[in-house]
Amino acid sequence: MYVHVPFCESKCGYCSFYSEAGRFCDVEAWLEALDVEAKKYFDDDKIKLRTLYVGGGTPSTLTLSQWQKLIDILTRYFDFSGLTEATSEANPNSLKPEHVKFLRENNFTRLSLGVQSLNDSELAILGRLHNSRKAFSAMELVRNSGLNLSCDLIFGVPSQSLRSWDYSLKSVMNFANHVSCYQLTLEPDTPLAKKYGNDELNTAGYKFYRYAQYILPKKNFAQYEISNFAPPGFECQHNLAYWHQDNVIALGPSAVSYVDGVRYANPAMLDEYFHAAKNNFPEESRTYESLSPHDRNIELIILSLRTKWGVSRELLTPEVEAKISDMPEDLFIITDERISLSKRGMRLGNSIWSELI
Ligand code: SF4
């Protein structure tokens, strides 16, 4: 299950996730709407969940009493007895010791921290509210709590050097047991897009990604997915569910669920979500996309290829096999049973997907 917390302290210059900056007066109304949504769709049978991921937005902007209400709603409608992993996202600027204590006491196992960089001028360019000092104290706080820690880092930031990237990578490895590396991409109309062009950033990103692929495995952080690195056993089970095309229920504005080949998209914005909740989430408040068996299969192939385990050859249609054999050999690792991407293939993932689609 994914729960979308649509609130942030301010909007970062590159962000394309849905969140509202500073509308904290609406948190209680969002919790009430979440209750209505969960009751409408999940009141009948208490679905047993395997993983929980509270993301956003910025979940660490919620107060403890709001967190408690959220947990009360979720436990009212869902069965957590089989939960193997529960993650909350957080930002260094808003994460407090009491959040970490609360998460520990409520059976959370992981915290995913938006570090992004440990270089202050890069953080300022990205429009983040924290500086490197705050990021270090937040990482220390989580490490000392016993929660597993994942850190997000961004590469391809204007003015970023390989030296500063090396510093950010090596520093987070001292605290975390999971690292996610994302290339800075600029969505149209974001403040950063107006200042810099995407083409320039995209070419700049390649060497940083390549360096991450080199340095992280040296410290036992294996690349298990295009953007994700962890020592064996610390992979994010929730995200693996997406890449394995497992069913994922998602609650909150802009959340997208996937159940047995059908994708359900919730109202995209908070006000539309409130309106839907007022009317007890009528059918037309969600959009549905039913994937054909062919599209479902192609999607599963692409999702599986994102991971180091790759895809079982049994899933490949002759058409896909032919397309793969037309591409350069060094993009793939091919065995009798499976096909996965090589390191180089991981770097060129986007071009491979567009060939396969
Ligand atoms: S904190 Fe995260 S979700 Fe919020 S604006 Fe920044 S990048 Fe987007």
Q: Which residues of the chain have pLDDT under 50?
A: none
CA angle at residue 208 from 206 to 210, to 5 degrees?
70
* Domain regions of the chain by residue span: 2-242, 293-356
Write phi, then psi, for 114 (nearest 5 degrees).
-80, 75
Render 279-347 in DSSP notation, one character per residue: TT--GGGSEEEEPPHHHHHHHHHHHHHTBTT-EEGGG--HHHHHHHHHS-GGGEEE-SSEEEE-HHHHH
How is residue 250 annotated by DSSP? E
**To test ligand 1's pocket by mutation, which of 9, 11, 54 has the most ligand atoms within 8 angstroms of CB?**
11
Beta bridge partners of 51: 85
What tokens does 38 get? 């969960």
Average pLDDT along the chain: 95
CA angle at residue 261 from 260 to 267, to 5 degrees?
100
| Ligand 1 near 11 CB (within 6 A) | yes
CB 150 within 8 A of CB 180: yes
Q: Hey, whose CA ends up nearest to atom 5 of ligand 1? A: 11
Q: Which atom of ligand 1 is nearest to the CA of 8?
A: 4
* Pairwise CA distance, residues 41 & 289, whole Å: 17
- Whole-structure pTM value: 0.95
CA of 10 to the centre of ligand 1 (A): 8
DSSP, collapsed to helix, strand or coil, labels residue 35 as helix
| Ligand 1 near 92 CB (within 6 A) | no
What tokens does 150 get? 């994942």
Residue whose token pair is 């359900």 = 264
| Ligand 1 near 117 CB (within 6 A) | no
CA of 15 to the centre of ligand 1 (A): 6
| pLDDT for the residue numbered 185 | 85
| pLDDT for the residue numbered 350 | 85
* Pairwise CA distance, residues 291 & 357, whole Å: 14
| pLDDT for the residue numbered 193 | 80
In sequence order, which ranges of the chain are alpha helices (DSSP H)? 27-42, 64-77, 97-105, 120-126, 132-145, 162-173, 191-195, 198-218, 237-243, 270-278, 293-305, 318-326, 343-347, 349-356
Could you say which architecture CATH assigns to the domain 2-242?
A: Alpha-Beta Barrel (3.20)
Write the pLDDT tens digit of every residue in 278-295: 999 999 999 999 999 999
What tokens does 329 get? 């050999």
Q: Hey, whose CA ends up nearest to atom 8 of ligand 1? A: 15
